[in-house]
Structure 1
Amino acid sequence: MSDDRRLDVLRAIVEDYVQTSEPVGSRALVERHHLGVSPATIRNDMAALEEGGYIAQPHTSAGRVPTDKGYRMFVDRLATVKPLSAPEKRAIGQFLEDAVDLDDVVARAVRLLAQLTHQVAVVQYPSLRRSALRHIELVPVGARHLLVVLITDTGRVEQRTIEADAEVDEEVVTRLRTTLNAHVAGRRLAELRTVVEDLADTLAVDDGPLLRQVVAVVAETLAQESEERVVLAGTANLARGGNQDFARSIGPVLEALEEQVVLLRLLSDMAEDAATVTVRIGRETRHDGLVETSFVTSGYGDEGGAIARVGAIGPLRMDYPGTMASVRAVARYLTRILAG
């Protein structure tokens, strides 16, 4: 579709339907929008849009509603994602920056996004595999036990205790701690094992056995923590918003949301540049339970790219510009907080 006027008609239909939840007729378009053409021309444009599959008539004598294809055209033709107001930005920043740790950041972000969008909010935990190591701490605990603490650049802290083959020498522990942090700080965890194993050949003979135990527990930690996690908030929003047809059919949506593997697959499919807002509409989600929904996400992380994603899921009849703006804003603040 290249006709700008018909795009204006489609935009008006989407906006009115989102606002009223009622099928939109030509008379309403004439009364509510200054399209600069006659009612007959608008009816012709609507007929062309319907023939192209962008709008549909839900039943005889009704107005028109957008189809998945119409919503996709509307989203793709948004010139820009409208910015949030200064007060909204300040409120987001203050709410998230008061968090005390990563778990608190994620919990606050998902609640906040559900409130901003009136949709189901989804926040994916930063991937341990894509994180970088900020520090390794080795703490002797008793004669033969050593606490290994991994601290990532995203604020994740993983702790494991190992039992040494021999009594732990604090001087050896100090040398290992210093050497490890000199070589691994800033490294992605995916490459950590290789880096640390290469150090074994450069250390004193007495340091090697303990180093290999540390390497083994780091590898075990990475394997155990490789499964991704997502947090949800706002599922009650699915039954609100005045869309009774959607409210009566939310069972399959709730079932899909309960399966984290479904959400993780969707998030993985939508993983693009950290600053990109991505929208999947209806059947684009490729899940039968979500065909009546749209999923808006954005990556957050660091300058090296997204390490996780944040998003909102709601009915096809959603405020796309507002939802996209809120998702983008929360993602940017998460990036800022984690980078700090």
Structure 2
Amino acid sequence: MSSEDRRLDVLRAIVEDYVLTREPVGSRVLVERHGLGVSPATIRNDMAALEEGGYIAQPHTSAGRVPTDKGYRLFVDRLSAVKALSTPEKRAISDFLENAVDLDDVVDRSVRLLAQLTQQVAVVQYPSLRQSAMRHLELVPVGERRLLVVIITDTGRVEQRTLDLAGPLSEDLIAQMRTRLNAVATGRRLAQLVGALAAVPAAFCPADRPLVQAVIDIIEETLAQESEERVVLAGTANLARGGGMDFTHTLSPVLEALEEQVVLMRLLTEMAEDSVAVSVRIGHETHHEGLLETSFVTTGYGADGDSLARIGSIGPTRMDYPGTIAAVRAVARYLSRILAA
């Protein structure tokens, strides 16, 4: 084994012990708990090299060492295995999410479930209409002078708008509009619909075109209004619980940062551009002063292999990275499966 590989083993042992005990890790502890196969003197030399490289640090006057952001980053980048969820855990995820009744319920259940699994803060980016594709458009007469326009997306999102009419509509005209609009809209990303819908009125007689255009205007206005990005959080109470988090003296800045949706959306957008399936941002990599002691673990979810939005977990830099990655990945996988159904 090369000295680099051995030092990586020492770093891995320090990270695992510190995550477990929340106490700085000394060379004697490493010798006693881990079969590293080298002498205590060699471990002390490796720890000195890791400290010089900025991967571990000595807090105050403690004899032990703790990982730095750089050390956690190397640990995450070199993870060879992610902790597997147990069969009961997988079954619980499946059962809990499959009982959801609509998209709002799916998102709510997903974020609460992930917070429970990780005992950290969970975040789910809501799939916006502009990221979705149209699954179906329904037109429903309500009395003689109102028309209900129902937009259903491939994420299961349902938006309803009502159009006031000048007079009664024939069933034939409603059926014709429903057929033509669905033929144009079905399967298209909502950002592509505006141009596609523009040609639809010409297929109708001049007397009906104003009504057709009014329906199209409602569709476009709905998409414009509902395109705003938003996120859902759960588990913020975990920040204040002594067992899992490390924000005893810096809780307020973390909470304030989490309340700023624009901060979370920026991070999620940046992480969506990472070239890895599960993205991890550690400490200063969040580029936000209030989040310097946190790490974000996120991955994409969506139907048919397309990532519509992201789901993730937010916790202290001293988090169980393998376990958190496994939980985030598992919930995202089940969430995607439900949306594709």
Whether TM-score is above 0.5 comes out as: yes
Asked if 1:80 corresponds to 2:81, the answer is yes
The aligned counterpart of 2:235 is 234
- Please report the TM-score for the alignment, with normalisation by the length of structure 2: 0.95
Q: State the alpha-carbon separation in 2 of the partners of residues 22 and 327 from structure 1.
A: 26
Partners of 1:41 and 1:321 in 2: CA distance: 27
CA 242–144 in structure 1, closer or farther in 2 if over 3 Å, else same: closer
| Residues 241 and 145 (structure 1), Cα distance of their counterparts in 2 relative to 1, 3 Å cut | same
Mapping for residues 70-109 of structure 1, pairs under 5 Å: 70-109=71-110
Whole-Å separation in 2 of the counterparts to 1:24 and 1:169? 78
In structure 1, runs of 5+ residues without a counterpart are none
User: Deviation of residue 263 (structure 1)?
Assistant: 0.9
User: Deviating runs (4+, > 6 A) in structure 1?
Assistant: none
Distance in 1 separating the partners of 2:245 and 2:209: 66
Aligned residue in 2 for 1:293: 294
Do the aligned partners of residues 244 and 170 (structure 1) sit closer, same or farther apart at CA in structure 2, a change above 3 Å counting?
A: closer
1:65 corresponds in structure 2 to 66
Q: In 1, distance between residues paired with 2:335 and 2:125?
A: 11
Shift of 1:273: 7.9
Q: Please report how far the alpha carbon of residue 204 of structure 1 lies from its aligned counterpart in structure 2 after TM superposition.
A: 2.9
What's the Cα RMSD here? 1.8
Partners of 2:173 and 2:185 in 1: CA distance: 18
In structure 1, give the amino acid aligned to 2:293.
E
SS state at 1:198 partner: coil
Partner of 2:45: 44
**Map of 1:213 onto structure 2:** 214
Query: How far is 1:80 from its partner?
Result: 3.4
Question: For this pair of structures, how many residues does the alignment match?
Answer: 340
Structure 2 match to 1:56: 57
Deviation at 1:239, TM superposition (A): 2.0
- CA drift at 1:194: 1.2
Cα distance in 1, alignment partners of residues 77 and 191 from structure 2: 36
Is 1:246 the counterpart of 2:261? The answer is no
Q: Distance in 1 between matches of 2:330 and 2:164?
A: 46
Cα distance per residue 1:201-260 (max 9 Å; x no partner): 233323321121111111111111111121111111112244785222111000011111
Give the alignment of 1:56-205 within 5 angstroms: 56-205=57-206
Identity, % of aligned positions = 72
Residue 275 of structure 1, CA deviation: 8.1
Q: Distance in 2 between matches of 1:259 and 1:150?
A: 30
Q: Which runs of 5+ in 2 are unaligned?
A: none
Give per-residue Cα distances to partners, 1:74-120, cap 9 Å, x unaligned: 00001232321221111100110011111111111111101100100
User: 2:155, 2:303 within 8 Å by CA — same for their partners in 1?
Assistant: no
